[in-house]
Amino acid sequence: MNLEDFDNQVNEQESSFDLKSILPKIFRIWPWILLSVIVFFLAGYFYTKTTVPTYRVSGKFFIKEKESALALFEKPAVMDVGNIGIQNEIIILKSKPIAALAIKELDFDVEYLRKGPFITQEIYKNTPMLITVDWTSPQIVNGIISLSWENNQQFTLDFEDKNYTQYLSDGSTVGLSNIPIRKSYNFGEWIENSQLRIKVDKIDPDQTGSMLFRLRDKKSLANIYSNQLAIESVDKNSSIVELSIQTPNILKGEVYLNTLMNTYLTRELDEKNEVYTNTISFIDSQVDGVEESLSTSERELETFRSANRIYELSSEATTVYEKLSALETDLRMEEFKRSYYQSLNDYLQQGNYKDLIVPSGIGIDDPILNALIENLLTLQVEKSRALASQTEISPAVIEVNRKLEDANKSIREILKNVDANSARVIQDLNAQIGKIDVSFRSLPQTEQSLIRIQRKFELNENLYTYLMEKRAEAAITKASNSAHNKIIEPAEGGYVIAPQPIRNYAVSIFLGFFIPILFVLIREGLRTKIEDIKYLENHLKLPILSTILFNKTPDNLVVLKHGKSGIAEGFRSLRANLKFILPDEDQVTLMVTSTISGEGKTFCAMNLASVYSLTGKKTILVGCDMRKPKIFTDFNLPNDVGLSTYLSGQEKNWEKVIKSSGYPSLDVLVSGPTPPNPAELLFTERFDILIKELKANYDVIILDTPPVGLVSETLDLLSKVDATVFIFRQNYSHRNFIEGLNGLKNNKRIKNTYVVFNGVEGNKVNYGYGYTYGYGYGYYDDDKK
């Protein structure tokens, strides 16, 4: 494979994530993955079994949309307050006051609990005990109390929680520090002390048993349920909303939602009927006096007729009587109106709008006054609804108060004019009655008395009939009223939202697999050193010739001393691959180098030279690393003379610095004493002459050069050799060394440079590649020894 083809292959591999290098590492930890899956599955099972089930209960509710202000063709009712916008209605439904009204109708103040093997679950209805709470006395709330019994007469209370709250009779709560001790009480008798007052009645027929319960004050319950309530629009083009709540008990959720919707409708209807209720109350207060006067005048008329034996009036008396009756009826009605005006003015001055009565409800047909009062009552309802979710200092409430004040002033100005007109009418009617009195006094005394009594009776009767008619009208209107909103679908049934066993088990198994794999991926992402040859393959832009096993022996001359080992076979594979690269070369000059010291550069150079010498080729190993010479120690040679001696001119004959290794066909030129200028010595003419002479006398020349990452002279030796062997060591060479070598290839355009992966652990040898030898430790005889 030439370098251009290899570059193309590397560029394609660098663009994708190499699963082939990761999968073996993942498969290697399969016992840990299996253990992780088991642990997480057990954790998921425990979580599922110990999680209190939560159900979602829902119902559908219709909210009437606010009508257009231009709906002129529909006659408005006395008070149309049902349409203030869907969003406002939703806020009111979720408000704490509405929740409090619903809670007030329910028996949620005692939560009955049953303790199971894994969870404690709430029960509703069909409870073994019935606990009655006196909320006018202090109570222990928000903590679990254990109740057990061994007979039908007595039971025992045990306060097991660490923290309880004391509910006080004024509605406030404080922390409870003095927790009661375990004590027995009698069924059906009130338990009274400074901390609680309850009564327990036994329903369960079993002689022995136990249960748990918890007391909740209605204020905290209203907060809990208002926060839990969720309201969503069924469709963006519809005014039907879905009310839902998450609860551990389906039946309890159903009861609450249905009670909440009915409470809301009742409240809405009460607001609509409030004006009619006030009208009926006002008429009743007037009727009481009229009815008594009517009865008295009726008895007086009967008595007078019987005593005087007069039952009919003369024609003249009849005429006077009819005129007086008509005028006095008008006078009485006008006085009734003035009484209403005075009462209305008093309410306005006090700012009491709840007891206001619309004038049309009692027969006062003043269109301006009626419209103003209807507007005032509408604003008052708008304020009360705003206060359900806001405070007095909120901008919306402040704005409503301003409108109420303006409407109040306008009505009081109108009342001054109306009352003045009514006073003039009364004065005029009294004047007309005074004129008729002249004709009245000319009648006989008996007829005068009869007319006087009959006028009083008929006046009371007319007023009574009028008031009863108006009361009946108000009562009929009130009875026929209905709420604008309505329940579309009552809350019924529900479905589990937690826990979900299948999902929990699936997530647990996934996490069991994923976390160990994630650990491997993170470790790979944080790894700074080269761990396997696949990483080199995917990132290095140079060919890899062979992998060399990690040397576990004390000898560095592995090929010569342990020829039947896996390491020796690796060097034979390296020699064979070099032959393919340089097939026509009778004389080969190779340079062995690395990035930093410690990667096995000298070790590979010595054994590569050794494997060539074993083929009968005359080989010489040259120690060019004059800074840290090492070769002489492994061959047990003195380092008195060597390359530095010849290059510095201390020895003129190069043959005199060559030493025999003690092995056939292998000579060694050691580095010699460390000179002060090793870099300059390698660039002298004598080094070129030496290389030329060595090529003439040896078949194979191996140069052990300094690391390229530490010194600069090594790069300049590339032009003097046929090929360069670059050493990387497993778990030692840093990954950024690859980028450094790639940079050298791109910038310096180095050629005939190849890589050897050194120090590979035997159990991590990759098989099936052209540059590997196929087996690890244990296959060769020397490895077995």
Question: Predicted confidence band at 430 (pLDDT cuts at 50, 70, 90)?
Answer: confident
Is 60 exceeded by the pLDDT of residue 325?
yes
Structure tokens at 734: 């840093």
What is the percentage of the chain residues whose pLDDT exceeds 70?
79
Lowest mean pLDDT of 190-204, 224-238, 303-317, name the range: 303-317
| Segment of 117-121, 461-465, 610-614 carrying the highest mean pLDDT | 610-614
| Segment of 210-224, 575-589, 711-725 carrying the highest mean pLDDT | 210-224
Tell me which residue of 620, 626, 613, 615 sits closest to 589, measured CA to CA. 620
DSSP 776: -
Is 50 exceeded by the pLDDT of residue 775?
no
State how far the Cα of 304 lies from the Cα of 457, in Å rounded to an integer: 12
Please report which helix (H) or strand (E) contains residue 732, including its range. Answer: none
Contacts for 216 with CB less than 8 Å, ≥ 6 apart: 108, 109, 110, 111, 141, 142, 224
- Bridge partners for 139 per DSSP: 167
**491 SS3 class:** coil
- Do β-strands 173-176 and 164-167 pair in parallel, antiparallel, or remain unpaired? antiparallel
Q: For residues 146 and 164, is the Cβ–Cβ distance under 8 A?
A: no
Q: Between residues 183 and 329, which one has the greater pLDDT?
A: 183
Q: What is the CA radius of gyration of the chain?
A: 54
Backbone angles phi, psi at 309, to 5 degrees: 50, 45
State how far the Cα of 581 lies from the Cα of 624, in Å rounded to an integer: 24
- Bridge partners for 214 per DSSP: 111
Backbone angles phi, psi at 758, to 5 degrees: -110, 155
**22 SS3 class:** helix
> What pLDDT is stored for residue 331 in this prediction?
75
Assign 3-class secondary structure to 500-556: CHHHHHHHHHHHHHHHHHHHHHHHHHHCCECCCHHHHHHHCCCCEEEEEECCCCCCC
> What pLDDT is stored for residue 399 in this prediction?
83
The type of residue at 111 is E
Alpha-carbon distances of 432 from 326, 426, 429, rounded to whole Å: 11, 10, 5
State how far the Cα of 204 lies from the Cα of 111, in Å rounded to an integer: 17
> What pLDDT is stored for residue 766 in this prediction?
46
Q: What is the pLDDT of residues 214-265, one digit of tens each?
A: 999 999 999 999 999 999 888 877 888 999 999 999 999 999 999 999 998 8
Is 70 exceeded by the pLDDT of residue 65?
no
Q: What is the pLDDT of residues 493-512, one digit of tens each?
A: 888 888 889 999 999 999 99
- Bridge partners for 326 per DSSP: none
**752 SS3 class:** coil
Structure tokens at 197: 């007052």
Q: What is the pLDDT of residues 142-180, one digit of tens each?
A: 899 999 999 999 999 999 888 899 998 888 888 888 888
Contacts for 405 with CB less than 8 Å, ≥ 6 apart: none
Q: How many CA atoms lie within 13 A of 596 on its CB side?
A: 10
Q: Between residues 464 and 700, which one has the greater pLDDT?
A: 700
State how far the Cα of 190 lies from the Cα of 134, in Å rounded to an integer: 9
Mean pLDDT of 335-358: 71
DSSP 359: G
**676 SS3 class:** coil
> What pLDDT is stored for residue 19 in this prediction?
65
Lowest mean pLDDT of 381-395, 448-462, 550-564, name the range: 448-462
Q: For residues 141 and 133, is the Cβ–Cβ distance under 8 A?
A: no
The type of residue at 473 is E
Can you give the length of the chain in residues? 785
- Indicate the Cα dihedral angle 372, 375, 377, 382, nearest 10°: -160
Mean pLDDT of 468-487: 74
Tell me which residue of 110, 137, 107, 103 sits closest to 214, measured CA to CA. 110
Please report which helix (H) or strand (E) contains residue 562, including its range. Answer: none
Alpha-carbon distances of 527 from 207, 519, 521, rounded to whole Å: 69, 12, 10
State how far the Cα of 193 lies from the Cα of 137, in Å rounded to an integer: 9
The alpha-helical segments, DSSP class H, found in 51-107 are: 86-93, 96-104
Q: What is the pLDDT of residues 73-117, one digit of tens each?
A: 333 443 343 344 677 788 888 888 899 999 999 999 999 999 888
Mean pLDDT of 581-594: 86
Mean pLDDT of 588-607: 91
Mean pLDDT of 360-378: 71
Q: What is the pLDDT of residues 434-461, one digit of tens each?
A: 766 655 554 555 555 655 666 666 666 7
Q: For residues 535 and 21, is the Cβ–Cβ distance under 8 A?
A: yes
**340 SS3 class:** helix
> What pLDDT is stored for residue 258 in this prediction?
94
Q: What is the pLDDT of residues 10-28, one digit of tens each?
A: 444 443 445 666 787 888 8
CA angle 231, 237, 240 (to 5 degrees): 40
Residue 501 class from Cβ within 10 Å (0-12 exposed, 13-18 middle, 19+ buried)?
middle
Backbone angles phi, psi at 234, to 5 degrees: -65, -40
State how far the Cα of 228 lies from the Cα of 94, in Å rounded to an integer: 9
> What pLDDT is stored for residue 784 in this prediction?
57
**To the nearest whole number, what is the mean pLDDT of the chain?**
80
- Do β-strands 753-760 and 544-549 pair in parallel, antiparallel, or remain unpaired? parallel
Question: Predicted confidence band at 536 (pLDDT cuts at 50, 70, 90)?
Answer: confident
- Bridge partners for 147 per DSSP: 157, 211
What is the percentage of the chain residues whose pLDDT exceeds 90?
29
Measure the N-to-C terminal CA separation of the chain; round to a whole number of Å: 38
Q: For residues 313 and 447, is the Cβ–Cβ distance under 8 A?
A: yes
**pTM, to two decimals:** 0.57
State how far the Cα of 764 lies from the Cα of 549, in Å rounded to an integer: 10
DSSP 82: S
| Segment of 115-119, 378-382, 572-576, 741-745 carrying the highest mean pLDDT | 572-576
Mean pLDDT of 661-671: 91
